[in-house]
Amino acid sequence: NIQLSDRVQAIKPSPTLAITARANALKAAGKDIIGLGAGEPDFDTPQHIKDAAIKAIENGFTKYTAVGGTPGLKQAIVDKFQRENGFSYQTNQVLVSCGGKQSFYNLAQAYINPGDEVIVPAPYWVSYPDMVLLAGGVPVIIAAPQSQGFKITPDQLRAAITPKTKLFVINSPSNPSGAAYSLDELKALGAVLKDFPHVLIATDDMYEHIVWKEGGFCNILNACPELYDRMMVLNGVSKAYSMTGWRIGYCAGPKDLIAAMENIQSQSTSNPTSISQVAAETALNGDQGFIRDMVKAFKERHDYVVSELNSIDGLECLETDGTFYAFPSAHRLMERLGLENDLALTELLIENGVAIVPGSAFGCDGNIRLSIATSMSNLQKAMERMKKALA
Ligand code: PLP
């Protein structure tokens, strides 16, 4: 009878990974399942990126690197921030980690004390609250339901801030909702944050490049450059370059905090994979045409799926601003079918050959998340199955 730590008992396994595993197991058992649970692009990593990695192996670039990333990749990240976002960083303000997930994990471990409050708007990426809990912090969830376009208001933010608030997390465009804040909306949130200098801001820009919103991508640092000294900008190559398996994320912020985060990393994983770092450097410095083609495909699928979902009685799906998710409300549908909650709906759908993720996993009961990162023909089949199962 093994006594587990309190720490690990406070958290749950990632529900999105669990659904994907369940769908894969059913598939392996011979069931015909269309997986709309996955949080990764269905495209192959571009060839020039793979070639760079193959060359790195052949050149023997297969040993430990500096814990926080190679000088070449760090410089590519500094250049990327300047070129694409207009942000000025030095390489000592940059940390490369094993995926965006580790970037946020390092931040939580290096910055949060037991009892510290972290404000997380819901729906949220599943890992924020649990990583806060692992650090002993207290997630303070602000509800941003579909009726608000999945965005929090400045008043909600102000009301959530206390003397114990240490961090505010913003993810725009958002996984799972696909909603992105406008520059004006970010300015209004920034105006609130200016009144509370004890609060650090983490902007998770993982979906920066998968955007079709008018005016394109912007984050809260674009909206409020004055917040530079207490801003952590998190990003990575996983989604933009279809490199989820390579495990490279990065962030930039105040250099003392970055150094502390690097310290955490030095005592856990050490450097991210040397080969993946070469690939990521090539991705950031190289031709960006791949992203354009991928986003075009996602937008076509988005238009199709959103319209199909809205044709199902009881589902209400907003157009998204980006990402590769649709996040319809299923409240009326569940009522119509007499389903108790979104888990029951998820179960019904998987029995009918479609794997999705319940909104409750993201702190938004009654919505469901469908990934459109699969072929149009798969999406067509999935929509047919859903229409039939939910008729
Ligand atoms: N942030 C958000 C909002 C995400 O959706 C994800 C992946 O699902 C990540 C960060 C982490 O990405 P990775 O660790 O695969 O680089």
Largest CA distance in the chain: 62
Q: Which of 250, 279, 280 is nearest to 101 (CA)?
A: 250
8 exposure class (CB count in 10 Å sphere: 0-12, 13-18, 19+) = exposed
* CB of 101 shorter than 6 A to ligand 1: yes
Q: Which two tokens stand for residue 316?
A: 């209400």
> What stretches of 151-254 show up as alpha helix (H) in DSSP?
154-160, 183-194, 220-223
Q: Which residue stretches of the chain have pLDDT < 70?
A: 15-16
Q: Which atom of ligand 1 is nearest to the CA of 40?
A: 8
User: pLDDT tens digit string along 167-226?
Assistant: 999 999 999 999 999 999 999 999 999 999 999 999 999 999 999 999 999 999 999 999
Nearest CA to ligand 1 atom 1: 206
Strands 34-35 and 354-355: parallel
204 lines ligand 1 (CB under 6 A): yes
Q: Which residues sit opposite 115 in a β-bridge?
A: none
Burial annotation 62-99 (CB, 10 A radius, 16+ → b, else e): eeebebbbbeebbbbbbebbeeebebebebebbbbbbb
Domain 61-285 belongs to what architecture?
3-Layer(aba) Sandwich (3.40)
Fold: same for 6-44+289-389 and 61-285: no
Name beta bridge partners: 165.
Answer: 117
Task: Name, in order, each residue with C-beta under 8 angstroms of 274's C-beta and a sequence gap of 6 or more.
Answer: 56, 61, 62, 63, 64, 65, 70
Site to substitute for ligand 1 among 96, 102, 106, 206, most atoms within 8 A of C-beta:
206
**Cα distance between residue 264 and residue 191, in whole Å:** 32
How far, in Å, from the CA of 252 to the mean position of ligand 1? 16
Q: How far is the CA of 337 from the centre of ligand 1 (A)?
A: 34
**Residue 248 CA, closest ligand 1 atom number:** 16
In whole angstroms, give the CA distance from residue 60 to residue 158: 53
Span from the CA of 1 to the centroid of ligand 1 (angstroms): 35
Span from the CA of 104 to the centroid of ligand 1 (angstroms): 9
Q: Which of 342, 367, 373, 341 is nearest to 122 (CA)?
A: 367
pLDDT of residue 39: 84
**Measured between alpha carbons, how far is 122 from 140 in angstroms, rounded to an integer?**
10
pLDDT of residue 24: 85
User: Which residue's CA is the closest to the ligand 1 atom numbered 10?
Assistant: 100
d(CA 292, CA 282): 17
**pLDDT value, residue 23:** 83
Please tell me the distance between residue 241's alpha carbon and the centre of ligand 1 in angstroms. 13
Q: Is the CB of 244 under 6 A from ligand 1?
A: yes
Q: Which atom of ligand 1 is nearest to the CA of 171?
A: 3
pLDDT for the residue 218: 98
Regarding the beta carbon of 177 and ligand 1, being less than 6 Å apart is answered no
CATH class of 6-44+289-389: alpha beta
Check residue 68 and give its pLDDT: 98
Helix axes 100-111, 127-134, angle to 10 degrees: 40
Could you tell me the residue ranges of all domains in the chain?
6-44+289-389, 61-285
* Number of other CB atoms surrounding residue 298 within 10 Å: 23
ipTM reported for the complex, 2 dp: 0.99
C-beta of 100 in contact with ligand 1 (< 6 A): yes
Q: Which of 28-38 are b and which e, b meaning 16 or more Cβ less than 10 Å from the residue's Cβ?
A: eeeeebbbbbb
Give the DSSP H or E segment for 20: helix 15-28
Query: What pLDDT shows up at residue 362?
Result: 96
